Amino acid sequence: MEAVVDRSSVISDLPDDCLVAIFQHLNCRTDREAFGLTCQRWLQIQNATRLHLKLQSYYDSSAAENYTKQLPRLLSRFHSLYSLSLAGCTLLPDSALKHLYSCGSKLQTLCLDCCFYITANGFSLVFLGCPNLTSISLYRCNVTDAVLEILSHSCLALENVNLSYCVLVTDHGISALSSGCPKLQAVTVSYCKGIRGHGFKDCQQLIYLEADSCSFTTDGLLETASTGCLEYLNISNLRCWNGGDGLGSIGLGGSCLRFLNLRMCRFVGNESVTAIAKGCPLLKEWCLALCHEVKALGWEAIAVNCQNLEILHVNRCRNLCDRGLRALQNGCGSLRVLYMHGCQKLTIVGLESFKCLRGEVEVKAEELMSIGRGIERFLLQSTSTRLS
């Protein structure tokens, strides 16, 4: 007597949505690759389910040829990509990007860091083919103001842009982004020395700005700080400053600021620090490392006004003395971490007194270049805070 086969128990009869669920629960890379080797149907499910792709970068003489061949094939295979990274593909030609024009409509995150060979024509193909981008990184690319104008007209949902070391960018290009991308929340323009700050005045949703080693003017900084929503500002190592002790303009418009990095702004003094401390009561982390002109009155202003301050960086501040540390000791009720070393005017007695009376404050000797916990976590936390 022949056995009866229960066809309902055969895995090949499972609907596609069940197979997708199975694939998504495979955490091991080997298992995920093996899934696609089972049969043609499972391979198609694997291809349709893949959301992220990072192209292997090459540095040999045949790199451009490899890019041109591989990228179109990969984009045809993985047609549901959410994010794509081509970082380090230094010889990537414009011709390799043509396929993005026809199949990049689902992409939301794109990284083109160090893609030195892409021209304005290549960027046009990318932007026009990826209208739903919310995040793009163009670190060290040959980006001009004209390229940013195309970006602003093509990707209206843009929220996060990285333009670090794009030395050809000026306030004109930033202004185009600010006007054309109403959802823009985070911009990184570190080492873009042609930016003075005026381009951010129309960026009303801006909450995160990295502008390390830029050349902001007094007016440009005021326009930037007055956008209304700015919560994170890094203008460390400010170049070519022409405003004297004029950083106090941050206090005039930065009432929402929670993170402020003024590292190596050696000219900032008591007047600016006092204005910021009074105008930015929500500050949680403030870096004043290597700000040599901040003296006792400045530290006293911080102690009195910054009651939400949790983390303070004072590394190598030449004019932080026992009087200033005593003011911090008696104020800043929320302080829990103090990064401090190389403050030559501090005495052992003053330091030990602080540690004794503020035992809950952790004093760390390390010196950090950046503050916060990274842009992705910051934006996620900020969005969650606004929704709650």
Residues 80 and 133 in one domain: yes
Residues 66 and 134 in one domain: yes
| Beta carbons within 8 Å of 87's beta carbon, 6+ residues apart | 54, 57, 111, 112, 113, 114, 115, 137, 139
The pLDDT value given to residue 98: 85
pTM: 0.87
Per-residue pLDDT at 47 exceeds 70: no
**DSSP letter (8 states) at residue 9:** G
For the chain, give the mean pLDDT: 86
Residues 95 and 29 in one domain: no
Last residue of a domain, one of 142, 173, 205: 142
In single-letter form, the type of residue at position 38 comes to: T
The pLDDT value given to residue 167: 95
In a domain, 299, yes or no: no
Last residue of a domain, one of 122, 142, 162: 142
Distance CA(94)–CA(122), nearest Å, equals 4
Q: Give which of 71, 73, 119, 72 is closest to 94, Cα–Cα.
A: 119
Mean pLDDT for the stretch of residues 4-11: 54
| 361 or 3, higher pLDDT | 361
In a domain, 331, yes or no: no
In a domain, 21, yes or no: yes
Residue-wise pLDDT for 179-229, tens only, equals 999 999 999 999 999 999 999 998 989 999 999 999 998 889 989 988 879
In a domain, 304, yes or no: no
Residues 22 and 100 in one domain: no
CATH code: domain of residue 70: 3.80.10.10
Per-residue pLDDT at 26 exceeds 80: no
Mean pLDDT for the stretch of residues 356-384: 81
Query: How many CB atoms are closer than 10 A to CB 54?
Result: 12
Element (DSSP H or E) covering residue 98? helix 98-103
The pLDDT value given to residue 1: 46
Distance CA(220)–CA(239), nearest Å, equals 13
In a domain, 111, yes or no: yes
Q: How many domains does the chain have?
A: 2
Per-residue pLDDT at 361 exceeds 70: yes
User: What's the count of helices (H) and strands (E) in the chain, helices before strands?
Assistant: 15, 13
Residues 43 and 108 in one domain: no
Mean pLDDT for the stretch of residues 112-139: 95
Last residue of a domain, one of 110, 142, 174: 142
Residues 71 and 137 in one domain: yes
Q: How confident is the model at residue 32 (pLDDT cuts 50, 70, 90)?
A: low
Query: How many CB atoms are closer than 10 A to CB 95?
Result: 15
Residues 32 and 71 in one domain: no
Q: How confident is the model at residue 379 (pLDDT cuts 50, 70, 90)?
A: low
Per-residue pLDDT at 388 exceeds 50: no
Residue 154: phi and psi, rounded to 5, are -100, -35
Residue that has been written with the tokens 């004209």 in this structure:
146
Distance CA(184)–CA(201), nearest Å, equals 12
Element (DSSP H or E) covering residue 312? strand 311-313
Domain that holds residue 27: 17-49
Residue that has been written with the tokens 């501040």 in this structure:
317
| 97 or 109, higher pLDDT | 109
Residue-wise pLDDT for 159-186, tens only, equals 999 999 999 999 999 999 999 999 999 9
Residues 77 and 134 in one domain: yes
Residues 137 and 57 in one domain: yes
